[in-house]
Each structure stands twice: as C-alpha cells, then as structure tokens.
Structure 1
C-alpha cells in the first residue's frame, strides 16, 4: 500500500511551502518519524518526518518547488514485500515508478523574436504586498498566453527567479509535469542566454503610461552570468528576510542610541554561579538571561517600547514576549520567549538554550517565532563592539548587545580599574518613541545591570 506524504500546514497563516532538500532518495528505506525532507515557509524552516515505515517509492515535488499545503509530495510503499525487497530491486522499481515515461528530450530551443502580430491582451491585477494591504492596486497589461502560463505552468519560486533576471517564461521550455517550467529550466535558459547573447535577446518592455502609478522599488536589470560569476537563487528564508528588512527601513524612521554599560557585576555573578548551575541544569549560564531580565524591568517601566503602531493608533501589549535573534548558517531567525516577565533567571536560561538549539536543528514551531513584542540581538558573540540593528516589525525597538571586554576605565575618585565593559545600542521607531524616552529606557537597563540583584535562582 502506498502512503501519501503531504506538504504539512506549519501554521494557520501559512498557505504554501517549498521543498528545500530531500533527505532520502527513491528506493531508500525510511522509518516512521525519521526525517524525510526539509521545507521552508515564510515563518520557519523545518524537517518533516516520514508518516510511515517503508520505501520511498516516488517523489512528486522536487527540491526548489513550491506547492500549496496538503499537496501530495511523495509516496511511501509500506507493502511488506516492497519493504523487504533487496535494495537494488527496490531501488530499480522505485526509480521506474518515480520517473514517468517521457518522450525523447527535444533539442535545446532558442528564443525567437516576437512576431509582428500581437498576442491577445488581458488585464490582470497584481495584489498588493502583504504588509501594504491598503495600497492602491497596480494594473498592468500582458499577453493573455503569458498570463495563463504564469498561473498554470510555473511555481511562485520560478516566477520570482524569472522576474529577477528579466526572463519571459513563455520563451522557456518546461520539462516538469505537464510542461511546467521548473527552476532547472530557468537556470538552463540563463546558461544558454549567456552562451549565445546575440541569439537570445531580452524582450522589450513598454514604458508605463502616464496614468499608471509609479513603482516605489526600482526593478533590477537582468544580470548575465559569466565565467567568473555564479548565480544562486535566494532561499525562501533569505528572500523573506530581505523583504522584511526593506519594509522595516521604509515604514519606520530608525534612530539608534548607544550606551556604555559596566558588566563587571554581572560577570562576577555569572562566574560565581556557573559551576553549580551547569551541574544542576545541564546548560551553561550565559550573559543573555541577565540582559533579558534587565529588559523586562525596563519594559515594565516604559511600556511604550513594548507597543506597536497601527495607522494613527498605539497598541500597548500586556504580554512581554522577548524575541532572541539566532544566527543560522542559512539565515536569521527570531524565536520568542513568551511571558518572559514570569520567568526566573534559570527559566530564562533554559528557554534561551532550548529555542536556540531547536532553531539550529530546524525544529521550531511556527507559533514559536510569532508574537514577539521586543527583540534582543547579540552581535557581540562574533566580536562586534556595537551595531545599528533593524527593527523587527511590527515592534518599535530592538536592543543590540556588543562584545563584553575587559579594559581600563576611570572609576570613583579618579582611580583606574579594569572593568568588563560593553556597548549596548537601541534602534527605535521615531514615529512613536522620542529620544528622551529611548535614553531613559537604556539608562534603566544600565542601572539594573550595573547593580544586578539575583532573584529566583
């Protein structure tokens, strides 16, 4: 019996997912709940376990393809004979099933100049950006046959790739199911265009009419690959990060203030607690739980920094949910510690360790990266002294923590002492927060850390 493997729904607001990597190949044996493939959504990357034990018989959705949730992406053969079949026999059988019969591949085609007779035209409407629902819809006119192909014969990933490199998908030969244009087809077309630039010319683009609204974001010109250039499509996560960074800088006027904080008190407490803490709880005590507690105290004193902007209204959040920026090899993610004000130093340390570990192992749930009210990023772990972090929308502020280093400073009575010092930076949304409030908030954090008192340890 064949068991369907479907694209799971990773959250209520997630409508599609992209297969980024298959961990098994057709013919491979897989156990129930063993990682089978990796997906990427606009919220989180995750490993998807196998729903059954058996042999991966057929892969329907290949790496790089984006499909709606509940789409069947593969089949697992659970029949006992198939499971116990010799590996070579199973592999050959699975390969035969996985690859449908196909006519001999045609010779590579080159784009031909458009005929003088124009294609019938159809008006389509481009939906506004998800974060800009209220913006005026943009109407453009394109050939009807191209509109049909964009809607039926290519995935959103392929369409975005074609848009970035100025490719008309009607000129690309599709080798996917039902003539679907795949990412491989687009990359092959790019290579052919680079090899024969005189034979494949970009399609002319008509200038917009005076009545059409002007696009705020400039379009990138097509970039032809060469011998010393490698073109790699952005991952789903990278594209979402890029979109969010551009949006945040555009919608929120960023201002950054810097404070120098003496971390000697916290450093000594950490060194004092470290041996027993690691033995009792199995994790190391870092500086971050101390900093989170100081932020929680400051957010209670200055609730405006725990708010958000909704048009001409201020939304005050009752919960204090602290986002922790975690750097990954493939991008950046911000898991959220919910109700951080209800956790002790030990509870915060455990929460930070758990979320960071599962983020690196692609085991976070969508709800664990949503609902943050304030974010902390710690570039100091990489040696950075200070930075100007970008606000994580729809929040109104983000705290950056620089590297903690020992250096000589002037203390009381003009004496020179060696202290553990660090620069903290706060980027804030000037629509809502004035400089005086931001500086008072930072001064509160400074006082809390420099005279830190242990509670609940």
Structure 2
C-alpha cells in the first residue's frame, strides 16, 4: 500500500520551525482527510497540522516537545490508490517529493565555540552574549538578533571595570552591557566584583523553566526595541476652528476623526 508523508507545513512567511505540543493520533489509528493529528506551536501562535488524505497512520517520526523544521517528515499514512487520486496527495518516493523521512538528527546543528563550552556556575546560564540561549543545559533554537542586555540611558555603573572584574566576566561570557543595570557600590557607582557575585547568587535562585517559542519571540522583539532610536517631532496647531465646527455638528465627531481626515487628505 502506498505511503503518503505528512510534512511540517510552512505556517507563515517568517516561520522556520515549530515545537510539537500534542500528538492527536497514534500509529495504527484510522484518520480522515484534513484531520488534525498534530498540534504545534510557532513563535506566533498554536496551530494544527492536518492530513492530506485518509488512511491508516503507520509511522510517527516525532514526539512531544520536539522542534521540527519546515519541510521535515512528521509521519506516514498508508493510503489506497483511490484515496491518493481523490485527494491529490503525493506518495513517498515520487520524483516531486523531497527525500524522506527527515529526522531531527539529519538537521545540521550549530556547534558552540570554545567559550560557550566553558563551565558555568550551577543554576546560572548566561546565553545572552553566546551562540544560543541556554536553559538547564538545553540549547533553544531561537537565536537573539541583538546581543547583550538593554542599556538604559544614564546608567554609568559599567564604565570602568577592574582587571579582576573583566576576568570574571570573561569566564562567564558576559559583556559590559550585561551588568549595566546592576547598582554598583564602588566609587562613582562602579560595579565591583562583590556586586557581581551578589547578583549571580540572586540570579541562581530564580526558578528555571523552559520558555515557549512565543515567549522567546516576544523577548527577542523587546530586546531589538532597545536598539532602535526613538525620536518625535511636533508642531503647534490652531484648534479653534475645529472645535467650533465640532460644537455645531449634530454628530459631534471625535477629535481623532478630524486627524484621520486630515491625514487622508
């Protein structure tokens, strides 16, 4: 009986992978066309992956909690020739079909550099300036587009660092921006090695749990916003004619409608 692959679909223009949340069917189950058999989470929403045709779910190559790249084979369906012809599905081995199955092991993995492999203190994972986020020793595939923590204007605690301080930060893979928010106890607000160790002890007590793809995307967007310059321009506007017109109008439109009308013109 021909096998029809179920591929990880392209769920959005910017979606490269998704995390499997639930398996809604098991091998041996009879499924129908357009039936949801997997629930996946992208960095934007939770969606369902459906079947192209009806048949018997014969093989499942994924498991819950696993990240799947777009185009990877998730499962196989044993379908009849009549069902394949009716649904227009492409069986495995067709010349138009990519090589299957594509397991997570076949996806090239990024190898961290030597500094990323250095031993970190227990419970503290500073992946903000490295090659990937880390949580409880697990690499998360969503990469930050901006390195380091945001540095608010006016923070001067990280302007000067002693050689001992620099050595400790190099050991942890941290940069000056990562400690800019620490309130320093040294001269002129300088962050000392004791301030850093106290902060590390405080961070080590934070609860550790895996962030969802959506939360990582939100955090990355907030991080990028700190690198965008904020500017505003204004000019005075004489509002008396507008207010007078509004007072004599039976509809009493809101001020925003006047602005929208002016913008459209």
TM score, norm. by length of structure 2: 0.45
Higher RCO (CA < 8 A, seq sep 6+): 2
Q: Which has the higher strand share?
A: 1
Q: Which has the higher helix share?
A: 1
TM score, norm. by length of structure 1: 0.28
